[in-house]
Structure 1
Amino acid sequence: MTTQLDFARVPFAADLSSYGHRPAIIADGRTVTYLELGQRVGDLARDLGGERRLIALAASNDVDSLVAYLAALTGGHPLILLPEDKPAALGSLIAAYDPDVVLRSAHGEFSLEERRAGSRHDLHPDLALLLSTSGSTGSPKLVRLSHANLQANAESIATYLGITPEDRAVTTLPVSYCYGLSVINSHLLRGATLVLTGLSVVDPCFWDLCRSERVTSFAAVPYTFELLDRVGFSGVELPSLRYVTQAGGRLAPERVRHFAELGKNRGWDLFVMYGQTEATARMAYLPPRLAVDNAGAIGVPVPGGSFRIDPVEGLPDGELVYTGPNVMLGYANQPEDLALGRTLTELRTGDLARKNAAGLYEIAGRRSRFVKIVGLRVDLGQVEQLLSAIGVTAAAMGDDDMLTVAIEGGHDTNLLTKVLAQGVGLPRAAVGLHTVQELPRLGNGKINYPAVAALVRQRQAEQGTPDPGASPSGAAGQDSVRRIFQECLELTEISDTDTFVSLGGDSLSFVAVSVRLEQLLGHLPPDWHLRTVGALERTPEHRHPSEKEPGRIQKKRLLARMDTGVVLRAMGIVLIVSTHIGLLEWQGMAHVLIAAAGFNFARFQLTGRRLPRLRRQLTSVARIAVPSMAFITFAYLVTDRYSLANVVLLNAILGPEQVTTQWHFWFIEDIVYILLAMSALLAVPWLGRAERRFPLMYPLALFSAGLLTRYELIEPNVPHTLPALWLFALGWAIARARNLPQRVLVSALTVLTIPGFFDNHNRELTMIAGILLLTWLPVLPVPRILSKPVVLLASASMHIYLVHWLVYPPLVETSPALAVAASLTAGIAYWSLCNAVSYTRRRRGRKAEIRQATILPSPATTD
């Protein structure tokens, strides 16, 4: 249905032109005055029509997005606001709410998709803005905000920050994020200037921009402060900076004190703030003069707002309740909810709070039974229900680093940890189980969680909690099967029934585990990755070296038997880098490694139940994609050879068809695309069952489908990439070939399909030889003196491939051999750095568990 325009005005959006020729926006070196901005907003508002319609905006930090946002407010059109770089979330909300108009702005292009002339929605006249409570996930649960909410919060923020027309705020946060949006609203309200940029604080150009445009403030979330430390912010000269704001989560008190004191010394203020999307952005702020002495507080209510603390039975702290004109109208879960008016007048924050001696509010924890661990929202009640369903009485607690569960009675904690980690989707290292004789309870029979936390702490003190930095169980300096698994897979609890695959092992960890097991056992069974830890420990070869025959010891010192896939990865990366640099000409190994990737996928990623298997597959993809994207981001920032499509691994889809430097990372994109596609296929129940029932025929069917692009019988519209699917499927089939006829079949397919793929016989012969080695020789003898270099090169092969594109160009003219050596060394260094970062994160999580007696206080906001 359509509704004639009859709406409350938002003055800061409707009265832009009143500030005349003052600068409103500075972006890409161009200044847009308030008069120009008001004209552009008015023009777009007229284009959106004279009837209220539901609009969805996929926004980025650019002028077009800001104009679209303001035009919707000015025209009275309720707006669903989302980030431009989350198309899946946009698609989900379009499907859920069926907006009448969809606006998109990115990369200098603006589009207006009018899906119908009028509107099919009944829109309440007060409804102005709809924001997600769960970031950019596309959840249909939205916060309904009114025009009055936006105006009131903008005025409140502008008041306590003392914003004037002379202020200039740089955009460090997305416009689609309520914290970032509040910066825009409050500055437009006062006729101040917005410096729009997508640059990060780690980019030197960001600070150059701040100086050249005389920026007076910027907004930060806790992670921003970590980045500020990395770039040496304390030494950055910013003569015009007046204040820094912090919200979006709890900043540790010691960090608050550090930056408050830094600001005092450097002439700017730190405003610590507290808010939730449900209150349009801000509910409290800590006056800068009080920050050093009250670093754990959220401060006082924003102007126009008030707090009260309602008692919570059984807890010393009560729930914080906020009242003010910025409190939302209510939630929307479906299109029909858009017709609702105000359904609540106060906001129950879900945070437990207290007042300190200075009269400031402090957050003591969460009343709601939710925690966010490694980015995943975990329902503690669901954890208890999951265990209850298998007959285990439990009390679940947690913080931002660890899920801690106390279980009543005697149970196998190793098994339950595995079940729980898989059930809630957490890494095993983030789940801590502790047995207690009886769970403490309140008089009403409910679990006494503070007492449980104290009891868990007592048990930890009695039993000792293993330090991830300490050596796992076993004699010092002496390997065991269990110790190898613990160290290489970075786990602390491993049972006799675990296998390499069930513990989440993949092709990246396979290298280190297989080499150390071969050294320990003397002979590594071909199916070792599927054998249990107990079975491996009972193998006849599992004896201390002193027990073995002298002749065998002599032989072992000369040769090591290494997995063929490991050797191919090590050889392959050396030949790939050497060929790119021009030290020698030996092409074809990259395509051998694609077949090896399919081979490893079949070995490590196809066992177990559907959902745990899918999580394991996606984790394996992340171990490739995350370090790749991190390095490519660095390459994008320091060179002009790459694009944002490279950063997000979408060059094959969005990049140029002609081969340029932007195609350097094609191999990474290939592997990620194929692994995601295979994981998606196997997530379909009937396809998963088909793979288990026909383990060889399934990859052969994929191989046949891949031949359609290999022989260009169909046009995939993704240049240079999809033709690799047939090689991946061929490697998968090799892993499933169990007997002589099957190996002969896959060998014949190799010999028949590879010739003609390239107009280079040597390249094709290399591919055939590598794949046949993978088919017929599960292990290869390698001089023991080379075993460690082979392990290093194979483990770091992906990282070497990434970094060599930046390392060799300045060295190749001096010495190609030096360029190769430097590339290999730099790649190993980057691999080591990635491992160190991962290890440090896990170590901190484990130590946090030891330090905490109860749930860590967390002002868990949905900013």
Structure 2
Amino acid sequence: MSFFKLESNNLAVITHEHTYTYNQIPKVDFISGQKELVLLLCKNTIDILATYISAMNSEHAVMLLASDINCELLANIVDTYQPKWIVGLNSYQGYEIYQNKLVRTKEVATNIHPELAMLLSTSGTTGSQKFVRLSYKNIRSNAESINEYLEIEENERAIMNLPLSYSYGMSIVNSHLLAGASVLLTDASVMEKSFWEFVKEHKATSIAGVPFTYQMLQRIGFTKIELPHLKTMTQAGGRLNEKLVKHFAEYAKEQKKRFYVMYGQTEASPRMSYIPHEKTIEKSETIGIAIPGGELLIDKETGELIYKGFNVMMGYAESLADLAKEDELKGVLYTGDTANIDESGYFTITGRMKRFIKLFGLRINLDDVEKKLEQEYHITLACTGNDDKLIVAVEQADFVEQIKEAIERLYKLHKTAYKVKVMDEIPRFASGKIDYTKLKESCL
């Protein structure tokens, strides 16, 4: 049975050049005698979106990657997972082009779990061959929950400017297309005039963004733009400054619009909680309540936030053999975040169990950054930071420029998103282990 229904005459996709009803979305053939892997290098174009829809409907497993992925990492991923098809590349060794996609020339024995729908990276354009394994049930249940609390119906038109390879962007596409609604597809930034012309011309009813998006919206004076058709604003992909949450919530209240702050992880397909729009000002410091069908609770011993729901991933994959694995988590996700709960049942994140930061919606493992830079330069360094900035502390000033170049090359981060700090001595415990608490205090 097809994941997306394409029989309707309703408007499905609007691009800068064309509009497509559901039954006009181009179909792409993925014919094979067994379940295979489709690797998709994502851009916000009708060709890629149509390929994604066809791949999901084909019941093959789909791996979504950013089109600007690091070449070395892409090579490792292709070697590790041996996808049958690659879409978004003109050529690749061991593949030949056929009907606008690359097809693997040699036969490879694959055993992919019948329920496995998608593989999503948790680390963006770089860093890891580790993927989240999502089932059809995971994705569908989360889209249905999102549709319920955001009240997404057929007449909605969502502006889709986030990458499809990013779980937040993927969930916008899935929730709207499963509701029979429309998606406005663009690569334009909120900083560009063409973006707002597109929004106004096609009467977008909702806009989504990560914290950086909302920082940019404040900078361009978004609240002064006339947007009579815009009804809903959503934010996820990291913690938004409480002052900005209140700023946009107050704007939404004045303009009779709705502003939702949401919390999630790729491992949960990806939404786990939201603040109901009428409570956003009052509960601006929280992550809200569990999504419909989900449950949040706190581990009494560790303080870790635990989520339960049908949208919890099957598990991780680090090799081709892992694609055959059953559901390992059984609907229970230990988030790695610590939290507390108030008297009205709203949850607030208090910290992280592990060393992750979120920059522009991408989760970055500080230990992985350290490891990569140490391997490249063989010097003593340590990483810290928050959801606004990555900080790399070094003891040798000679390496500052090289490390800056490596961060931009490996992580595609803008200069404002990181800092390289030279220290006389990186703080350590008596055991010799780095004192990350003291390091963070001295760097931020």
Fold shared per TM-score above 0.5: yes
1:28 is the counterpart of 2:16:
yes
Contact 1:156 1:304 in 2 (8 A): yes
Q: Give the corresponding residue for 1:426.
A: 392
1:365 is the counterpart of 2:351:
yes
Q: Give the corresponding residue for 2:56.
A: 73
Contact 1:52 1:119 in 2 (8 A): no
Q: Give the corresponding residue for 1:283.
A: 272
Q: Give the corresponding residue for 2:120.
A: 131
1:619: how far off?
2.5
Distance 1:114 1:402, change over 3 A: closer
Q: Deviation digits for residues 40-90 of structure 1, max 9, x if unmatched?
A: 33xx23x43353211111111011111111111111101111111225243
Q: Distance in 1 between matches of 2:401 and 2:179?
A: 51
1:120: how far off?
2.0
1:618: how far off?
4.9
1:10: how far off?
5.3
Q: Deviation digits for residues 137-172 of structure 1, max 9, x if unmatched?
A: 151111110011111111111111001111100112
**Correspondence 1:614-653 to 2 at 5 A:** 616-619=401-404
Q: Which of the two has greater helix per residue?
A: 1
SS in structure 1 at match of 2:328? coil
Partner AA of 1:290 in structure 2: K
Contact 2:392 2:420 in 1 (8 A): no
Q: Which of 217, 229, 248 is the matching residue for 2:218?
A: 229
Structure number with greater CO (CA < 8 Å, separation at least 6) is 2
Q: Distance in 2 between matches of 1:842 and 1:257?
A: 32
Contact 1:58 1:90 in 2 (8 A): no
Contact 1:54 1:119 in 2 (8 A): no
Partner AA of 2:12 in structure 1: A
1:56 is the counterpart of 2:39:
yes
Contact 1:53 1:118 in 2 (8 A): no
1:86 is the counterpart of 2:74:
no
Partner AA of 1:350 in structure 2: G
Q: Which of 353, 361, 370 is the matching residue for 2:339?
A: 353
Q: Distance in 1 between matches of 2:320 and 2:80?
A: 8
Q: Distance in 1 between matches of 2:47 and 2:383?
A: 47
Q: Give the corresponding residue for 1:483.
A: none
Q: Distance in 1 between matches of 2:211 and 2:191?
A: 15
Contact 2:288 2:346 in 1 (8 A): yes
Distance 1:304 1:128, change over 3 A: same
Q: Deviation digits for residues 757-805 of structure 1, max 9, x if unmatched?
A: xxxxxxxxxxxxxxxxxxxxxxxxxxxxxxxxxxxxxxxxxxxxxxxxx
Q: Distance in 2 between matches of 1:327 and 1:185?
A: 16
Q: Deviation digits for residues 783-835 of structure 1, max 9, x if unmatched?
A: xxxxxxxxxxxxxxxxxxxxxxxxxxxxxxxxxxxxxxxxxxxxxxxxxxx9x
SS in structure 1 at match of 2:322? helix
Q: Distance in 2 between matches of 1:100 and 1:259?
A: 45
Structure 2, unmatched stretches of 5+, are 91-98, 375-381, 422-436
SS in structure 2 at match of 1:16? coil
Identical columns (%): 38
SS in structure 1 at match of 2:177? helix
Distance 1:373 1:177, change over 3 A: closer
Distance 1:238 1:370, change over 3 A: closer
**Correspondence 1:570-609 to 2 at 5 A:** none
Q: Give the corresponding residue for 1:219.
A: 208
Q: Give the corresponding residue for 2:328.
A: 343
1:301 is the counterpart of 2:279:
no
SS in structure 1 at match of 2:354? coil
Distance 1:117 1:150, change over 3 A: farther
1:16 is the counterpart of 2:2:
no
Q: Distance in 1 between matches of 2:242 and 2:349?
A: 12
1:100: how far off?
1.4
Partner AA of 2:397 in structure 1: L
Q: Deviation digits for residues 299-326 of structure 1, max 9, x if unmatched?
A: 111111111111235xxxx111111111
**Correspondence 1:246-265 to 2 at 5 A:** 246-265=235-254
Q: Give the corresponding residue for 1:162.
A: 151
Q: Deviation digits for residues 458-479 of structure 1, max 9, x if unmatched?
A: xxxxxxxxxxxxxxxxxxxxxx
Partner AA of 2:316 in structure 1: Y
Q: Deviation digits for residues 10-51 of structure 1, max 9, x if unmatched?
A: 54x1x221xx211100112311111112xx33xx23x43353
**Correspondence 1:263-662 to 2 at 5 A:** 263-313=252-302, 318-345=303-330, 346-371=332-357, 377-379=365-367, 399-400=386-387, 426-428=392-394, 502-504=396-398, 613=399, 616-619=401-404
Q: Give the corresponding residue for 1:817.
A: none
Q: Give the corresponding residue for 1:177.
A: 166
TM-score (structure 1 length as normaliser):
0.43
Moved more, 114-123 or 330-339: 114-123
Structure 1, unmatched stretches of 5+, are 1-8, 387-394, 404-424, 429-497, 505-612, 631-833, 844-852, 857-863
Partner AA of 2:345 in structure 1: G
1:117: how far off?
7.3
Q: Distance in 2 between matches of 1:312 and 1:854?
A: 25
Contact 2:238 2:387 in 1 (8 A): no
SS in structure 1 at match of 2:397? coil
Q: Give the corresponding residue for 1:595.
A: none
1:379: how far off?
3.2
TM-score (structure 2 length as normaliser):
0.82
Q: Distance in 1 between matches of 2:49 and 2:10?
A: 17
Q: Distance in 2 between matches of 1:149 and 1:10?
A: 16
